Amino acid sequence: MNFADNIDIGQNVINEEVSTETTDQDITELFMMFDKDGDNKIEQAELKTLLRVVYKTNPDERMVEEQLHKFDTDRSGTIDLEEFKQLYHSMPYKPKGRKLRHMFDEYDANGDGDLSIEEVKQFLGSLGAKCSDKLVKKLMKEVDVNDDGRVDFREFCLMFGKSLSEH
C-alpha cells in the first residue's frame, strides 16, 4: 500500500489554475514534484510521468526518449532544472499548480519548516481523506528521505510526485 493507493491529490493540485502567469518558482515547484527521488534530476521514468500528465496519455518509450534527447542538452541522460525550464516552456499544455510552498506553509501550523504527523493528517483531511495515524505514518515514511519522522518542503513535493507517478 502506498500514497497513491490511498489518495489521488497530485492530479487535482497540478491542474488547479491559480494564475495565468508562471514564475520560475512555479516551474521549480513542478520540477520538484516530478523529481520524486529528490536528486535534482528528472530521469526517464520521472519524465514519463510528466509526459503522462501533460499529454493525458501513457507515452511509449520512443516518445520519452525523444523528449529526453531533445531537452537533455548536456547529454547527462537526465533533465536538470534549467533543461526542465526549456521543456516546460515548450509544452502545449502547461500544468499550473497552486503554490506548493503556500500550501505547505498553510499546514505547517507551528511554522517550524516541517510537517508533523498531526499536520500531515490535517492536510490529508482537508483533501477529503480519512486516515488513521498508522496509515499517515506509513505514507510519511514513503517520502521521509532524511528519516527524521517529519515532512519538510522537499518531501512534501515528493508526496505529489509519488501520487502522480503511481497513476
Q: What is the pLDDT of residues 16-41, one digit of tens each?
A: 443 446 778 778 878 887 887 788 99
Residues 33 and 65 in one domain: yes
Domain that holds residue 49: 19-90
Work out the average pLDDT over 122-139: 80
- Where do runs of H (alpha helix) occur along the chain? 3-6, 10-15, 24-34, 44-55, 61-71, 81-90, 100-107, 117-126, 133-143, 153-165
d(CA 17, CA 145): 29
pLDDT at site 16: 45
Is residue 109 domain-resident?
A: yes
Residues 29 and 56 in one domain: yes
Residues 50 and 78 in one domain: yes
Out of 69, 90, 111, pick the residue that ends a domain.
Answer: 90
What share of the chain has pLDDT > 90, as a percent? 25
Residues 86 and 104 in one domain: no
Number of domain units in the chain: 2
Residues 82 and 112 in one domain: no
Per-residue pLDDT for 58 more than 70?
Answer: yes
Are the C-beta atoms of residues 140 and 120 closer than 8 Å to each other?
Answer: yes
Is residue 2 domain-resident?
A: no
pLDDT at site 80: 95
Work out the average pLDDT over 61-69: 94
Is residue 162 domain-resident?
A: no
Residues 83 and 111 in one domain: no
Amino acid in the structure at residue 107: Y
Work out the average pLDDT over 76-86: 95
pLDDT at site 164: 39
Out of 90, 116, 133, pick the residue that ends a domain.
Answer: 90
Per-residue pLDDT for 59 more than 70?
Answer: yes
Residues 31 and 78 in one domain: yes
CATH at 54? 1.10.238.10
Four-point Cα dihedral 77, 69, 61, 47, nearest 10: 60
Q: What is the CA radius of gyration of the chain?
A: 16
Residue with the larger pLDDT of the pair 79 and 52: 79
Is residue 85 domain-resident?
A: yes
Is 113 strand, coil or helix? coil
Residues 24 and 81 in one domain: yes
Residues 86 and 134 in one domain: no
Out of 41, 61, 90, pick the residue that ends a domain.
Answer: 90
